[in-house]
Amino acid sequence: MKKNILIIPGDGIGQEVTTWGKQVLNRIAEKYNHEFIFDEAIMGHTAIEATGNPLPDETLEKAKASDAILFGAIGHAKYDNDPSAKVRPEQGLLKIRKELGLYANLRPILLFDELLDASSLKPEVLRGTDILFFRELTGDVYFGEKKRNEDNTFASDLMNYHRYEVERITRKAYDAARTRNKKLCSVDKANVLETSRLWREVVQEIAKEYPDVETEHMFIDNAAMQLVKNPKKFDVVLTANLFGDILTDEASQIAGSMGMLASASIGDGTGFFEPIHGSAHDIAGQNKANPLASILSAALMLDIAFGLQDEAKAVTNAVSETLKAGWRTGDIANSETAADKILGTEEMGAKVLEFL
Ligand code: ATP
Ligand code: MG
């Protein structure tokens, strides 16, 4: 298979971890006889410094022309203390999402047995958890009309959804459910919200096209509770923008560290694959960042963008073997981890390549 992959390392630890996601893709290409052609582009603070623009035209053009994008992170501490800065790294991210028409955010919550003690939940509750969230990205209260009256005694955010917005993400989620355990849970608040009633109707209609997939509908309040009570009961979870925002952050904590979670944003064109963590300037340039989230983002690309399930599995297996052998970065080490098993970014990335 021949694919053009754009690497956008971004800022801070994004630059350190993305190189490992790329090397893993390279190794997969050799091993499975694919041709992956890599290009690189700048974005975020790095791009502002170089060009004054957080998303230079050249980066956007390369992005549109590629088959998939492996992204690191953007951000810089200087903007945190300057909320009024006109040109900001995040503008680049929002713009590229819009330009690429990315409407579904996918976040797998994949737990490795070796790290069960990194979570605040009990190992017996967690063991076997493997959830794939589909969060809608273009509708909901984020983009509806916003109002405030003059004396500040009233405000409103309009929650809205178009049928086509629900349809397209629902099909993506069902397609994914077919490649997994054929179970889909759609989360809404259809007992109260009209948008949720439309959401549920659309999901019920599309469910008929997927009779092999078992469908469940759950209210958001119940889903939030079940997620920490019995996370194993979920497989593919499909939900709207606001509910997904909250639910995926809740779910990230069952996995323990930010350094372990990957995400994908997809639409009908080029997909965007990235760790959920940010640029983490507190540890940047110190060879401390965990590269596994970037490596798992590469696995997600192989699976979702290219349909290469065996190759994706080979990557997650290599991560699993690395952890099984006891190797850890600082963020996933615990008080019992031997000091000589705690590795830097470079050494950890190299271990995964070895197992691969
Ligand atoms: P941003 O402003 O871009 O979100 P951030 O500095 O807030 O970046 P986060 O990604 O939100 O960084 O992470 C919060 C903290 O978690 C970091 O400051 C860092 O200490 C830790 N962290 C995040 N990602 C990793 C990683 N890959 N490896 C190790 N530690 C990490
Ligand atoms: Mg942050």
Whether the pLDDT of residue 238 is over 90: the answer is yes
Ligand 1 center to residue 87 CA distance, Å?
Answer: 22
Among the three residues 223, 254, 285, which one is the final residue of a domain in this structure? 254
Residue 142 and residue 81 in one domain? no
- What would the mean pLDDT of 62-76 be, rounded to a whole number? 97
Residue 131 and residue 249 in one domain? yes
In a domain, 113, yes or no: no
> What average pLDDT does the structure give for the chain?
95
Count up the domains in the chain and report the number: 2
Residue 281 and residue 350 in one domain? yes
Whether the pLDDT of residue 100 is over 90: the answer is yes
In a domain, 112, yes or no: no
Q: Mention every residue, 6+ apart, whose C-beta is less than 8 A from residue 205.
A: none
Cβ of 331 below 6 Å from ligand 1: yes
In a domain, 142, yes or no: yes
In a domain, 278, yes or no: yes
In a domain, 333, yes or no: yes
What pLDDT, on a 0 to 100 scale, did the predictor assign at position 256?
Answer: 74
Residue 50 and residue 97 in one domain? yes
Residue 16 and residue 75 in one domain? yes
Among the three residues 227, 254, 281, which one is the final residue of a domain in this structure? 254
Among the three residues 233, 254, 275, which one is the final residue of a domain in this structure? 254
Residue 134 and residue 212 in one domain? yes
Q: How far is CA 302 from CA 41, 88, 109, in A?
A: 20, 31, 17
ipTM > 0.90 (yes/no): yes
Residue 333 and residue 271 in one domain? yes
Residue 15 and residue 128 in one domain? no
The token pair that represents 67 in the structure block: 């088959």
What pLDDT, on a 0 to 100 scale, did the predictor assign at position 20?
Answer: 98
In a domain, 111, yes or no: no
Cβ of 259 below 6 Å from ligand 1: yes
Cβ of 342 below 6 Å from ligand 1: no
Nearest ligand 1 atom to the CA of 277 is 10
For residue 130, what are the domain limits? Answer: 120-254
Whether 327 and 343 have beta carbons less than 8 Å apart is answered as yes
Ligand 1 center to residue 123 CA distance, Å?
Answer: 25
* Residue 253 pLDDT class (50, 70, 90 cuts): confident
Q: Is 245 a catalytic residue?
A: yes
For the chain, the residue count is 356
Q: Nearest residue CA, atom 11 of ligand 1?
A: 278
Whether 223 and 199 have beta carbons less than 8 Å apart is answered as no
Residue 179 and residue 236 in one domain? yes
Whether the pLDDT of residue 258 is over 90: the answer is no
Q: What is the CATH number of the domain that holds 322?
A: 3.40.718.10
Closest CA to 202 of 212, 188, 191: 188
Task: For residues 240 and 141, give the distance between their C-alpha atoms in angstroms, rounded to a whole number.
Answer: 10
Ligand 2 center to residue 281 CA distance, Å?
Answer: 10
Cβ of 72 below 6 Å from ligand 1: no
Label residue 226 exposed, middle or buried (CB < 10 Å: 0-12, 13-18, 19+). middle
Whether the pLDDT of residue 83 is over 90: the answer is no
Ligand 2 center to residue 277 CA distance, Å?
Answer: 7
* Residue 249 pLDDT class (50, 70, 90 cuts): confident
Residue 166 and residue 245 in one domain? yes
Whether the pLDDT of residue 84 is over 90: the answer is no
Q: Nearest residue CA, atom 25 of ligand 1?
A: 259
User: Quick check: helix, strand or coil at residue 120?
Assistant: coil
Cβ of 281 below 6 Å from ligand 1: yes
Q: Which of 15, 78, 277 to mutate to test the pocket of ligand 1 (most atoms within 8 A of CB)?
A: 277
What pLDDT, on a 0 to 100 scale, did the predictor assign at position 322?
Answer: 98
Q: Which residue has the tokens 């779910």?
A: 251
Residue 139 and residue 97 in one domain? no
